[in-house]
């Protein structure tokens, strides 16, 4: 059977499984008491079932075992199968962690430890880690020592896993952003012909789209930590195994792919440090909170952030093409600087760190640059 038909079949199976399993998972969540009650930080006003991530996980696993035997011989090599096993085994640890947290609300320290365990299983059990480094103005990649590559790999997996969790604040937000990021990885994997990533991305995308049928506003079920942690882990793994031999400068590509959750996480840390609050203390200063404070509706806020995620994804694809056909690392360095500049401008405009502190905008205005949209946003927020 042609490989394209196999992938299409896998996508369809994952989509159907997610559509069937999500209502069943919803009933299961109510049965075991995995529910989310409204409070001053939540935007929903009624008790909602969590654990929706189980439906996405089951869609991935069922579709994977349905199509793996149909893939033509020689398409997936032994190393490719090792990567697939790493995602499934590590993902299973993460989904169990998230499911227990949805039911029993585990402590942040315990969840962190379990995430590190999952990352260590991937690194030491399946020998997956960052291997090469490429500096901004150099052309040759150099192999790095394991004592650098392994900690960075573990940090990457744990960091991205939690980044998706932090933006899971509105109906369909985290699942939609994750779907856009995975679609971006899928396109790039197709261009590169990297079969294991194509397979996993296709199946995950089918599961996410099926789940979104019940998760978009007004949501019938939340994906909970089981979903946000699982999708975060999958994104970390897919970006890692796609680009694990091109790091630092060219690691901007996976950074762009998950630019929305990572930037929101970064600004959340800065915001809490500025306000002298614990880093892990929850608040209502995330990107989606600030957009709603500016007057945007629930759906418009979600769609706007989806749009931002799509822009990041398009930039990642373009940057990947530039590096493939040009190979000039200084271009990547310039892109990083431009992205950081506009991210800081956007953060100051919406007040994601502090509503009154706008150092970069103030500097630009002192230099004589008029930013009319800043004044309009300020008056709107007032």
Task: Give residue for tokens 């009624």.
Answer: 46
Give the DSSP H or E segment for 209.
helix 195-215
- How many distinct structural domains can be found in the chain? 1
Q: Is the peptide bond before 29 cis (omega within 30 degrees of 0)?
A: no
pLDDT in tens, the chain (382 residues): 788 899 999 999 999 999 999 999 999 999 999 998 776 555 556 789 999 999 999 999 999 999 998 888 777 766 788 889 999 999 999 999 999 999 999 998 999 999 999 999 999 999 888 765 554 444 455 566 667 788 988 998 998 898 888 777 788 888 999 999 899 889 888 887 888 889 999 999 999 999 999 999 888 999 999 999 999 999 989 877 765 543 444 456 667 777 777 777 777 788 777 777 777 666 676 777 677 777 788 888 889 889 888 888 888 787 777 666 655 556 666 766 777 777 777 776 776 766 666 776 677 777 666 555 445 444 444 4
Pairwise CA distance, residues 140 & 133, whole Å: 9
**326 marked ligand binding residue:** no
> Is residue 354 within 8 Å of residue 268, measured between CB atoms?
no
Question: In this predicted structure, what is the pLDDT of residue 114?
Answer: 96
Q: What is the DSSP letter of 286?
A: S
Question: In this predicted structure, what is the pLDDT of residue 317?
Answer: 80
Question: In this predicted structure, what is the pLDDT of residue 108?
Answer: 87
Going by C-alpha positions, the residue among 197, 195, 198, 227 that lies closest to residue 210 is 227
Predicted model pTM: 0.81
Pairwise CA distance, residues 91 & 234, whole Å: 7
Largest CA distance in the chain: 65
Question: In this predicted structure, what is the pLDDT of residue 159?
Answer: 87
Pairwise CA distance, residues 251 & 332, whole Å: 9
Query: Which residues constitute the domain of residue 333?
Result: 3-381
Question: In this predicted structure, what is the pLDDT of residue 370?
Answer: 57
**215 marked ligand binding residue:** no
Going by C-alpha positions, the residue among 169, 166, 184, 208 that lies closest to residue 301 is 169
Task: Give residue for tokens 């060219």.
Answer: 250
Bridge partners of 48, per DSSP, are 36
Helices marked H in 68-194 — which ranges? 78-104, 108-120, 126, 146-166, 173-192
- Residue 167 to residues 24, 288, 341, Cα–Cα distance (Å): 25, 8, 22
Question: In this predicted structure, what is the pLDDT of residue 143?
Answer: 62
């Amino acid at each position: 059977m042609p490989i394209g038909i196999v992938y299409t079949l896998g996508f369809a199976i994952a989509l159907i499984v997610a559509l069937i399993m999500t209502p069943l998972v919803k009933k299961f969540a109510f049965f075991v008491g995995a529910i989310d009650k409204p409070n001053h930080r939540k935007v929903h006003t009624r008790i909602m079932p969590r654990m929706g991530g189980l439906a996405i996980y089951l869609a991935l696993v069922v579709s994977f075992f349905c199509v793996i035997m149909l893939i033509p011989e020689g398409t997936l090599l032994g190393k490719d199968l090792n990567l697939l096993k790493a995602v499934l085994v590590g993902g299973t640890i993460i989904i169990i962690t998230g499911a227990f947290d949805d039911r029993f609300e585990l402590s942040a320290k315990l969840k962190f430890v379990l995430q590190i365990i999952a990352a260590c299983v991937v690194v030491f059990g399946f020998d997956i880690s960052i291997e090469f480094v490429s500096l901004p103005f150099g052309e040759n990649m150099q192999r790095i020592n394991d004592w650098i590559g392994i900690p960075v790999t573990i940090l990457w997996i744990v960091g991205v896993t939690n980044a998706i969790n932090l933006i899971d604040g509105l109906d369909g937000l985290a699942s939609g952003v994750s779907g856009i990021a995975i679609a971006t990885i899928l396109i790039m994997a197709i261009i590169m012909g990297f079969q294991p990533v194509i397979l996993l991305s296709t199946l995950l995308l089918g599961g996410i789209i099926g789940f979104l049928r019940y998760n978009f506003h007004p949501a019938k079920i939340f994906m909970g930590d089981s979903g946000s942690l699982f999708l975060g882990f999958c994104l970390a793994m897919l970006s890692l195994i796609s680009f694990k031999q091109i790091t630092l400068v060219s690691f901007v590509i996976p950074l762009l792919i998950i630019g929305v959750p990572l930037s929101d996480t970064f600004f959340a840390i800065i915001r809490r440090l500025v306000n002298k609050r614990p880093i892990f203390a929850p608040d209502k200063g995330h990107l989606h909170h600030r957009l709603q404070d500016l007057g945007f509706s629930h759906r418009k806020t979600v769609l706007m952030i989806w749009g931002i995620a799509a822009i990041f994804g398009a930039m990642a694809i373009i940057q990947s093409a530039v590096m493939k056909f040009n190979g000039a690392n200084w271009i990547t360095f310039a892109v990083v600087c431009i992205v950081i500049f506009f991210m800081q401008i956007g953060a100051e405009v919406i007040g994601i760190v502090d509503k009154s502190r706008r150092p970069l905008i103030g500097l630009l205005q002192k230099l004589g640059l008029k930013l009319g949209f800043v004044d309009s946003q300020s008056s709107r927020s007032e």
